[in-house]
Structure 1
Amino acid sequence: MYPSYSRFKERGGRVKEFYFKRYIRIAPSIYFYIVMILIILLAIGAISFEALKSSSLGIWLISNFVLIPVYNPEVLNHIGVDVINGSLWTISVLVMFYIAIPLVYYIEEKYGFKNMITGLIIFSVLNTIFYWWLQSFEVQFFAHVFKITLFPHLIFFSFGILWSKY
């Protein structure tokens, strides 16, 4: 992702254009998924038309439409393994990476690649330690929420940037 953004900026691309292209890359497939899953679930009788009126299903729809498809309403818990599509948490992480790329690029432009990557790796390690600390608590809510952000995955992003440079 980072090398493609660098090339994009070198060709004179604007941040708004970058975000629009990323949106067009992700959103249509998520929106198609939402429509199809509702049609399929209604067709096979897994949910009723009455369930479409529930506020929890409305929140699920909104979370998918804003590209943070991590909420799973109770009305869908009986389908599969309690999560209608458990792999969609990666979309929220991907969106956060896309949001962060221009900032990381700006830091590289201002402070140089070595300072940027060093800071990013240090920040990544601190986030990993923080995530481990969150997991030590009996209540895992905050660890779960933190896990679906870019922060615990930032170390992979950092090494990916480093790898692509050298």
Structure 2
Amino acid sequence: MNNIIPRTNHFIWIRYLAAFSIVFSHSKQFDTAPQSYIDVVGTLTWFVPGVPILFFISGFLISLSSSNSQSLTAFFVKRILRVYPPLWASFSVSVVLIFSLGMVELHGDDWLKFLMWSIGQVTVVFFYHPDFLSHVGTGVLNGSLWVIPVILQFYLGLPLLRKLDNYWIGKGKSHYIYLLLVVCALFNMVFHYFNNFTPNVYTKIIHFLTLLPWLFFFLLGYIFSRDYGRLKRLTTYASPWLVLHVALFCTLGALGFKWGRNDINPILFTVLAFSIVSIAFKVPSNLSWFNRIEKFIAKNDISFGLFVYQMVMLNTIMYLGIFDDNWLARLLTFLLATITVASLSLILLEKPLRNKRDWFIKVLSRNKEPQQKNKAV
């Protein structure tokens, strides 16, 4: 069976769609957002759930990256250079803003809290939200970063998943990966039911600190990547899947089921996943200008930066009271500030570091060689 995945795809547009879904969803947290805007954006962002879509795309594309990487070292270097430079830049921007604008005045134990918060923001402890920032905007300067540890857990677990899957394939039981997907889907539904109706400290820990509720989306992306040759016959046309997605979306909503955003029903999301893949591998356009624009945007992808910087910009605008009497101007300022900072981060930091990717891989691989030789001796 031909399982060659075309190199040309349109995932970049879907990444931006998901990123802007998250940005607009969070824009509802502005204290001056009109109810009409909240209602419209709330419905649209439930229809296009940004976080699950990004998890699915990550599962698909990172699986390919793992397959194409020459070693685990190369794989992890690529992932670190993708995730951490914008996070560190975002932290630097946050520190400059909170001190230059007088957002905080630290006294006594506050400096220890600031140190703990700083260490967390540049590593993986994004759930620590000190009280000295509680008066700034929403009270959490960059609350969106809870997804980073979830993504990192998938990166770390992917090599183990591939080994397990290859073991099953070797035993002639390749379908076991689908059974695992069903288990993850059931866990997803049961967990979100309890988290929505009887939340407690344990559900919050599982939700914000573990991969478990989100593994379904990553695993679904992994399966689409693994079995693309088998599934591509079902993704020739996007329209039927989009129509089915809309129908299910409306039906589940009318029946009162929890059907959107981060806790989207796995059945509904599976239909959406077929739509995503259908669009991503649609035949390239014959319009040369469109293809040039697509290549330029793909080379200068700020979708992750939009996600990383948006809450910092939102909270800063709220703190300063920028255009608090003009909603449209405030929204446009928020979007422009987020896009500008994400673009500068890409140009000044992220791309230069990624251009040194091969150098990092070579240095780290060279450091491992003496260890391997010593073990052989």
Under TM normalisation by the shorter chain, which class is it?
0.7 to 0.9
Alignment of 1:12-161 (within 5 A): 13-48=70-105, 50=107, 54-112=111-169, 113-126=174-187, 128-130=189-191, 132-133=193-194, 137=198, 140-148=200-208, 149-161=210-222
Q: Which has the higher contact order (CA 8 A, sep 6+)?
A: 2
Contact between 2:185 and 2:216, CA under 8 Å: does it hold in 1? Answer: yes
Contact persistence 2:59–2:219 (CA under 8 A)? no
Offset, 1:17:
2.1
Contact in 2 for aligned 1:56/1:73 (Cα 8 Å)? yes
**Matches of 1:12 and 1:39, distance apart in 2:** 37
Question: How many pairs were matched up?
Answer: 165
Kept after mapping to 1: 8 A contact 2:120/2:126: yes
Determine helix, strand or coil for the equivalent of 1:54: helix
Q: Following the alignment from structure 1 to structure 2, what is the Cα–Cα distance between the partners of residues 94 and 68?
A: 13
Deviation at 1:151, TM superposition (A): 0.8
Which one has a bigger Cα radius of gyration?
A: 2
Aligned partner letter, 1:77:
S
Q: Distance in 1 between matches of 2:205 and 2:67?
A: 35
Seen in structure 2, the aligned counterparts of structure 1 residues 156 and 3 have a Cα distance that, compared at 3 Å, is closer
> Relative to 1, partners in 2 of residues 1:64 and 1:115: Cα closer, same or farther, differing over 3 Å?
same
Percent of matched pairs sharing the same residue: 22
Mind listing any 5+ residue stretches in structure 1 that lack a counterpart? none
Q: Distance in 2 between matches of 1:150 and 1:143?
A: 12
Cα RMSD for the two superposed structures = 2.5
> TM-score, with normalisation over the residues of structure 2?
0.40
| Stretch moving more, 121-130 or 14-23 | 121-130
What TM-score comes out, normalization by structure 1 length? 0.83
State the AA in 2 paired with 1:23.
Answer: I
Poorly superposed stretches of 4+, deviation over 3 Å: 1-12, 49-53, 130-138
Stretches of structure 2 lacking an aligned partner (at least 5 in a row): 1-57, 232-377
1:64 Cα shift?
1.6
Give the stretch that moved more between structures: 29-38 or 149-158: 149-158
Counterparts of 1:114 and 1:23, CA distance in 2: 32
